[in-house]
């Protein structure tokens, strides 16, 4: 298929990476049995399989399912439960929320009053400064997690600081980063956001060594790939955390992993994150809510309960391509967190599928017609 070398950029920014495993392996192929026998007029005129596929996609498709947020089930449906629910609302908005805001404000005061002096006064003493900044970032993340009454259970050995390793995790919301960061000060690669989030990104996160990218910039990919490579080589840099899905998914499915993290020639340590939906739906649907609204929603819920599994580090097997490696790690993470895999690229949220998929279907049909023409 595409034999473009890894660093080659696609010419239009709307075209997606062509190096993907065969989509046909995943999609329902009810009509995929090869038709046999001599070609007749009715075989050419019968477009029902194609039409059925199109109608099937209109009715339900695995891509849209990945981004469906669960509407909260109202349980206040009778005389007994309704007052309980009202009481719950009062407690959540009247007691929990103000307490949490207080906790968070306190956390910020402590953080800023320590971070600013450390950052400026210890300019000369880099090693100590970095160590303190790391601790402080972990601290403010813990305050954030406390502000949602986050109950996080970590399983598995904690990440260690070693060169030539990257961490990959499935992505549900930007809070994934905070949940992981409170345990270990990762350097992370993320999309640059506007507003107050962007401000935090450029000041505080800068200190742990984060890498920015811009989804809409085509040339960006090469620059980012280079930055990734430079980061993992550096012995002093914080361990790098990458979310290879490239976008937030609703924690029931995983979309295709981008191969960038898997071709750096280092060990990949998978992390699986699963949120317990009973307490709150932690999926951040960036098309529906701003991050601020998302945080407020979390702060007025009962709790954010999740499990984090640090899984066994994986390396590229001999003869395995980076894409196969990415798929293998996706298998491991999906299995651990109980997520279903879909064959779609997360970036299809923002752009149209590559013409390659349609061409594949066209080629199959054309070959079948020409072959059957030969048959007697």
Partner 1 sequence: MGSASSMLTQYDIEEVQEHCNKLFSQQEIVSLYQRFCQLDRNAKGFISADEFLSVPEFAMNPLSQRLLKMVDGLNFKDFVAFLSTFSAKASLQQKIELIFKVYDSDCNGKVTFNDIIEVLKDLTGSFMSDKQREQVLSHVLQEAGYTRESSFLLEDFVKVLGSSSIKMDVEIPVD
Q: Interface with partner 1 by CB under 8 A: which residues? A: 27, 31, 39-64, 68, 70-71, 73, 287, 344, 348, 352-353, 357-359, 361-363, 365-367, 369-370, 373
Q: Which helix (H) or strand (E) holds 76?
A: none
Report which of 329, 337, 299 is spatially closest to residue 98, judged by C-alpha positions: 299
Q: Please, which residues have CB within 8 angstroms of residue 9's CB and are 6 or more apart in sequence? A: 218, 219, 221, 222
Pairwise CA distance, residues 148 & 297, whole Å: 9
Pairwise CA distance, residues 213 & 244, whole Å: 13
Report the nearest approach of partner 1 to the CB of residue 363 (Å). 5
Report the nearest approach of partner 1 to the CB of residue 92 (Å). 20
Sign of CA dihedral 190, 196, 201, 202: positive
Please, which residue, 76 or 99, has the CB nearer to partner 1? Answer: 76
Please, which residue, 49 or 88, has the CB nearer to partner 1? Answer: 49
Q: Please, which residues have CB within 8 angstroms of residue 15's CB and are 6 or more apart in sequence? A: 351, 354
Report the nearest approach of partner 1 to the CB of residue 371 (Å). 12
Please, which residue, 227 or 288, has the CB nearer to partner 1? Answer: 288
Q: Which helix (H) or strand (E) holds 270?
A: strand 267-275
SS3 state at 216: coil
Please, which residue, 213 or 344, has the CB nearer to partner 1? Answer: 344
- Asked if residues 192 and 201 have their Cβ atoms less than 8 Å apart, the reply is yes
Report which of 333, 249, 247 is spatially closest to residue 283, judged by C-alpha positions: 249
Please, which residue, 52 or 233, has the CB nearer to partner 1? Answer: 52
Report the nearest approach of partner 1 to the CB of residue 302 (Å). 19
Please, which residue, 125 or 362, has the CB nearer to partner 1? Answer: 362
Q: Where are the beta strands (DSSP E) in 42-116?
A: none
Please, which residue, 335 or 370, has the CB nearer to partner 1? Answer: 370
Pairwise CA distance, residues 94 & 21, whole Å: 51
Report the nearest approach of partner 1 to the CB of residue 266 (Å). 32
Report the nearest approach of partner 1 to the CB of residue 242 (Å). 24
Report the nearest approach of partner 1 to the CB of residue 312 (Å). 33
> Token pair of 361, please?
């279907």
How many Cα atoms are found within 13 Å in the side-chain-facing hemisphere of 45?
3
């Amino acid at each position: 298929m595409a034999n473009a070398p890894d660093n080659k950029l696609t010419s239009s920014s709307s075209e997606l990476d062509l190096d993907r495993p065969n989509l046909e392996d995943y999609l329902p192929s009810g009509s995929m049995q090869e038709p046999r026998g001599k070609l007749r007029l009715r075989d050419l005129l019968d477009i029902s399989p194609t039409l059925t596929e199109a109608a099937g996609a209109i009715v339900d498709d695995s891509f849209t399912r990945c981004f469906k947020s669960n509407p909260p089930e109202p349980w206040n449906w009778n005389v007994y439960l309704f007052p309980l629910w009202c009481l719950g609302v009062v407690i959540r908005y009247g007691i929990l929320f103000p307490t949490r805001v207080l906790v968070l404000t306190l956390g910020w005061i402590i953080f800023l009053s320590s971070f600013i002096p450390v950052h400026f006064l210890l300019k000369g003493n880099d090693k100590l400064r970095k160590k303190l900044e790391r601790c402080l970032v972990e601290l403010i993340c813990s305050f954030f997690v406390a502000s949602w009454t986050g109950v996080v259970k970590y399983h598995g050995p904690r990440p260690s600081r070693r060169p030539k390793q990257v961490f990959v995790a499935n992505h549900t919301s930007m809070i994934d980063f905070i949940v992981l960061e409170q345990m270990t000060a990762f350097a992370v690669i993320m999309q640059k956001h506007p507003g107050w989030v962007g401000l935090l990104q450029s000041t505080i996160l800068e200190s742990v060594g984060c890498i920015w990218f811009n989804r809409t910039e085509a040339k960006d990919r090469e620059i980012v790939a280079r930055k990734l490579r430079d980061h993992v080589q550096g012995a002093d840099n914080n361990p790098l955390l990458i979310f290879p899905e490239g976008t937030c998914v609703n924690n029931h499915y995983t979309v295709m992993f981008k191969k960038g993290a898997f071709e750096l020639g280092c060990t990949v340590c998978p992390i699986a994150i699963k949120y317990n939906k009973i307490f709150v739906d932690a999926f951040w649907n960036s098309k529906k809510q701003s991050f601020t609204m998302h945080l407020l929603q979390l702060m007025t819920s009962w709790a954010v309960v999740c499990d984090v599994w640090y899984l066994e580090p994986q390396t590229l097997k001999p003869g395995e391509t980076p894409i196969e490696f990415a798929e293998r790690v996706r298998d491991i993470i999906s299995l651990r967190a109980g997520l279903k895999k879909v064959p779609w690229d997360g970036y299809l949220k923002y752009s149209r599928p590559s013409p390659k998929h349609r061409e594949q279907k066209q080629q199959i049909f054309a070959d079948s017609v020409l072959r059957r023409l030969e048959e007697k």
